[in-house]
Structure 1
Amino acid sequence: MEELKRPTKRRGFYVKMRLLNKNGRQQDKNLCFKYYKWVLWFSLTLYFFSSYFINHKPIPLSKTRFTNSKSNHLSRALIESVNKTFLQHPTSNNRGSLRDLKIYVYALPSKYNTDWLSNQRCSNHLFAAEVAIHKALLNSDVRTFDPYEADFFFVPVYVSCNFSTVNGFPAIGHARSLISSAIKLVSSEYPFWNRSRGSDHVFVASHDYGACFHAMEERAVADGIPDFLKKSILLQTFGVKYKHPCQEVENVVIPPYIPPESVQRTLGKFPVTGRRDIWVFFRGKMEVHPKNISGRFYSKKVRTDIWRRYNGDRRFYLQRHRFAGYQSEIVRSVFCLCPLGWAPWSPRLVESVALGCVPVIIADGIRLPFSKAVNWPEISLTVAEKDVSKLGMILEHVAATNLTSIQKNLWDPSVRRALLLHDQDQEGDATWHVLRALSEKLDRSHSRSRVPLQSHVDT
């Protein structure tokens, strides 16, 4: 038999298949490698983009609201972690410093506040801080609708609104009874006043002698601070560096109210760095009435001395009568006199700063608002009441030496912002500084401390 021969291998086919198998496995490996490389690239890209947005666009604390106290703490911890980079580089006006402050605003019947706004002057005159602060708190991020988590309680009573006559004499004899009535109401309907004896309750006293609620110092001192307010916090325009019965209460010195809109309108027509063709400016009362022509009572005779000594001096632009457009005179002036009136403070102080005129403060011992935020010695001059006779010489010396430096500091927009109260609080504005001052008094918060507190004066 013919021997069966084993078929010879088809080496071409065999090699071809080996190559195909080898290439196939190689292609599979290449696909896997490409897939994993793509996943790795995508993951790294996502990681870096996420890191960038977290570090550069922190979650705004002002837009975060919580209702549950437990979730509040957890969420707040998460937000602070996410914003760690942002909070590590705070500015002087970092809103983060207010992130834990909570204020409850009592919803009082309208007879205590908004009814008086039918008179337009009530929200625009120099005492209108009580209105502006109330409006700002209603719109503020620090407002809480849960009184049990509040650090402070704001009692919105307007005592000067509609009670200041056009001639400028405030009639506020009703203030004590109106505030007392509001306190009786909140203490009967809520437990918060009684539990802290009012130490975490905040009121506004934007009058000549603040918490004493009278325009004349002798009467203000004689009446004193009402007993029902002695443990509370007063936001008041009155403040002095020496011991005075009308500031012997926990207080924050605030600026008198100047409508921000009026400042904006004036600066829209006259830039703060524009031409200043008035050297020294003052417009206002020099004497109260003919029976007081000596001026020895009003302004402690300071204004009368200014008038008698400098009225004929061409360097001084002194006017005794009202003028609706007087801000246009301030913005054209180099120096603006801010002498005391019935009380040490004056709205001219804010108007001068806001319009870039160097304020010349003539009020011995005055305590100025927000001294931690506004470097008063760098933006103003202080002249002792007894040195009014040397006023011309003092201002000439300043003009020849460091006037340019003072104006540079004064014209910083942050300085103007710090003294203006807005209906909607803005970071770095006057309301914001009020809130920051309150945040420094959290030891008075019942929700943070259960220990009975005693009043002390803010310095």
Structure 2
Amino acid sequence: MAISKEVISLAQGARRTDVKLERLELGLARARAAIREVLRNQSQKFDLVDSDYMPQGPVYRNPHAFYQSYREMEKLFKVYVYEEGEPPLFHDGPCRSIYSTEGRFINNMDMENRFRTRDPDLAHVHFLPFSVVKMVKFIYQPRSFNSTAALKRTILDYVHTISRKYPYWNRSLGADHFMLSCHDWGPDLSHAISHLYSNSIRVLCNANTSEGFHPSKDVSLPEINLITGLNKGIIGGPSPSRRPTLAFFAGGLHGPIRPILLKHWKDKDESMQIHEYLPKGISYYEEMKRSKFCICPSGYEVASPRIVEAIYLECVPVIICDHYVLPFSDMLNWKAFSVSVTLEDIPKLKDILKSISSRQYIRMQRRVKIVQRHFVMNTPPKRFDVYHMILHSIWLRRLNIRVHPQD
């Protein structure tokens, strides 16, 4: 049977795409092998030198493996950003709010010239750059019967558009694609498409395992509240000896944990500065700087900007939250620089914190200063900062999958 020239051309094009995919997967296989080699030889001393930064110490689960993985990412990783969609809705996001992580990542990705590729055949992952915050702003219908229906239709239409125009979504059923959202509705809106929810890498501030967050596939996004869009004035703090307050919290009744915290500790103990509202004239950030421990309870959702605020101001975070996957926990050993307590532990909170010796506290506080670099938003981004740590987390999830050429 004769084959038309058009069919031959398509077949050859598909084959060239398959060859490129095979090369991508071969590069990823070599990266996996290099990282596994480091993991297999954990007792071996590695003489590594990096002029910028060398991960080391107990704040990392395995500093050598992390460094090897990071370097493999720098050598290899490429991201393709879909450009379909109008800029006010897609390719944009807030940079001065509690959702600033979302907007800053999209903005940095737009300016990216090292990890971003303009050739989708060369990409290891494909970014769906819709901002949930902007979608809520422009098309949310608050008094409709199904208030999120329009948002879900928009995401559905967007994925259908790119899946018809490009072969990459259908090739992997979305497994080498990622969305990123710091809005509370991000996880729910990912249900707009079953493959987006179950296959794609979802980079979410609301990293709640009880609501379907899968740590092996999804990425926990730090929630960072940049009120002015800048880090100026909110990074750094005094030494342990200049922190007279044992613990500090200020925040309204939001979610199930804070009412219990306020019931047990509000205005009960001078060393436990627990407030619903700060007294007039008292600075929130200055109180964090005066405190050894900063209480970080979740609200209605699991993430809290207080965790990163505490790290910025070098106050040891005390995390009260169930089902929360902490950011960068593949690489970071949160037990080394933070305290986790359960809801049932709240009445014993002072005893728990007082039981931490001065020596151990000083170690923890120094470790907070070490991990601080991984949560800082720089303009432009710098190696090992929060932007690159988010990319590295996505890179690790891409290493977990293999995309096979189509038959």
Is the TM value for this pair above 0.5? yes
Q: How many pairs does the alignment contain?
A: 335
2:113 pairs with 1:113: no
Tell me how far 1:386 sits from its aligned partner.
Answer: 0.7
Match of 1:10 in 2: none
Tell me how far 1:374 sits from its aligned partner.
Answer: 2.3
- Does the C-alpha gap of structure 1 residues 88 and 303 become closer, same or farther in structure 2, counting only changes over 3 Å? closer
Match of 1:278 in 2: 245
Within-5 A mapping of 1:14-413: 89=49, 91-92=54-55, 93=67, 96-98=71-73, 99-108=75-84, 109-113=86-90, 122-140=94-112, 141-161=114-134, 163=136, 174-208=150-184, 210-213=186-189, 226-230=193-197, 231-240=199-208, 244-247=211-214, 250-259=217-226, 262-267=230-235, 271=238, 275-286=242-253, 298-299=255-256, 302-312=257-267, 313-321=269-277, 325-398=283-356, 400=358, 402-412=360-370
Tell me how far 1:174 sits from its aligned partner.
Answer: 4.6
What SS does the aligned partner of 1:264 have?
coil
- Does the C-alpha gap of structure 1 residues 88 and 277 become closer, same or farther in structure 2, counting only changes over 3 Å? closer
- Does the C-alpha gap of structure 1 residues 272 and 160 become closer, same or farther in structure 2, counting only changes over 3 Å? farther
> Residues 80 and 117 of structure 2 are in contact (CA less than 8 Å); yes or no, is this contact kept in structure 1?
yes
> Residues 159 and 174 of structure 1 are in contact (CA less than 8 Å); yes or no, is this contact kept in structure 2?
no
Letter in 2 for 1:113: F
Match of 1:433 in 2: 389
> Residues 212 and 226 of structure 1 are in contact (CA less than 8 Å); yes or no, is this contact kept in structure 2?
no
In the aligned structure 1, how far is the partner of 2:204 from the partner of 2:229?
22
Tell me how far 1:361 sits from its aligned partner.
Answer: 0.7
What SS does the aligned partner of 2:218 have?
strand
In the aligned structure 1, how far is the partner of 2:185 from the partner of 2:322?
15
Instruction: Extract unaligned runs of 5+ from structure 2.
Output: 1-19, 28-45, 56-66
Tell me how far 1:237 sits from its aligned partner.
Answer: 1.7
> Residues 89 and 134 of structure 2 are in contact (CA less than 8 Å); yes or no, is this contact kept in structure 1?
no
In the aligned structure 2, how far is the partner of 1:175 from the partner of 1:420?
31
Tell me how far 1:87 sits from its aligned partner.
Answer: 10
Tell me how far 1:275 sits from its aligned partner.
Answer: 2.7
TM-score by length of 1: 0.64
What SS does the aligned partner of 1:309 have?
helix
- Does the C-alpha gap of structure 1 residues 393 and 248 become closer, same or farther in structure 2, counting only changes over 3 Å? closer
TM-score by length of 2: 0.71
Larger radius of gyration: 1
In the aligned structure 2, how far is the partner of 1:329 from the partner of 1:336?
9
Identity %: 25
Tell me how far 1:373 sits from its aligned partner.
Answer: 3.0
In the aligned structure 1, how far is the partner of 2:311 from the partner of 2:137?
25
Tell me how far 1:127 sits from its aligned partner.
Answer: 2.2
Letter in 2 for 1:252: V
What SS does the aligned partner of 1:136 have?
helix
Letter in 2 for 1:362: I
Instruction: Extract unaligned runs of 5+ from structure 1.
Output: 1-68, 77-85, 214-222, 289-297, 453-459
Higher relative contact order, chain-length normalized (CA < 8 Å, sep 6+): 2
In the aligned structure 2, how far is the partner of 1:152 from the partner of 1:325?
43
Please identify, of 352-361 and 154-163, the stretch whose mean Cα deviation from structure 2 is larger. 154-163
> Residues 239 and 253 of structure 1 are in contact (CA less than 8 Å); yes or no, is this contact kept in structure 2?
yes
In the aligned structure 1, how far is the partner of 2:234 from the partner of 2:215?
38
